[in-house]
Each structure stands twice: as C-alpha cells, then as structure tokens.
Amino acid sequence: MASPPIPPALGHLANRPFSFYPAIRGIEHNEWLFRKATWSDMLVVNRKTGEELLIPRRLVGEVSIVDDPVVIVGLLRDLEYREGAVWPCQRHVIEMPIAVGEARQAAAQPRPVPAPVVAIRLEPRKTRRIYKVVGCLMALAILLHLAISLFTGRTRSPIPLRPAVQR
C-alpha cells in the first residue's frame, strides 16, 4: 500500500511572495506571504489586503522551482473564499436552455434506450451448482428411504428398544 505524499517543505517561502495555482476563488489579488505552518494547516497573508487565511496542508501540492516572476504553490483542489474561510469549491452543473427552433428537433429524436442490466454474481456459479446437486441427492435419498420403509412395512428401528426396569 502506498504511503500518502509528504507535504512540501514551506520554510523557504518565508520572505518571498508566491501565488496559488489554481487561484483561490473569491479573492482578487493572488499574491501571498508565508506566515507559519503547523502539521495540519498553513497560515498565509495576502500582500495587498493583509488578510490571513488558513490553508489545509492536505490540499497544498508542489512548490515550483522557478521563481520568475513569483513562486507558484500548487493546490490539489480548487478552493473558494466564503464566510471568512477557505472551502473546497463545488461546481454546479447548469442546464443550458434550448435554442429557438430546436425544441421540435429534440422532441422528434427518440430517446436512447437505457443500458441493459448485467447480473452481478457474488460467488462463482460452480459452487452453487455443486451445492444444488448435493442437496438434491440428499433429498432423493431421504424420499427413497421413506418410500422403501412404507412399502415394506418396516417403520421401526433395527435396534430393539426395551423399557428399563428400575429397582
């Protein structure tokens, strides 16, 4: 099993400005200064507004080697600034309206048929078949024994049972 990636060392960003890529949505100026880091978070300060943000270390990716014009710190997910904190960005899918004149064409085209459902087997077929055969043979043996004992009149046990005399 692979171990989780080691978070990048961020100490060399102490006196140098850097930018996040992709940029944090909801913040116009994307130039930051590194303040400090803990094992779970990274505290950064916006150079223009002076606003401090905590960025989770699990969302911080690689730091670029080239620093022309600024160092780039990669983010593993898109982040957005809401309610004074940074949150993972959730993209919403918006259905486009139908253009004029295309409503009739869309209604005339038949809808695609749903995909066929494929049966999922949790255990191999051969083992189920073996269990069925063994069960049928046992049921047949019991029925055969009952039929023979009914026709021959022998319904009692071959071992004679006698009451015990108590003294």
Q: Tell me: the pLDDT tens digits for 109-138? A: 666 777 777 777 666 666 778 888 999 999
The pTM of the full predicted model, rounded to 2 decimals, is: 0.50
Q: What is the pLDDT of residue 139?
A: 96
Q: Tell me: the pLDDT tens digits for 74-105? A: 999 999 998 888 988 887 777 777 777 665 55
User: Would the CA dihedral through 134, 135, 141, 144 be positive or negative?
Assistant: negative
* Backbone angle region of 153, left / alpha / beta, with phi > 0 → left and psi within -120 to 50 → alpha: left
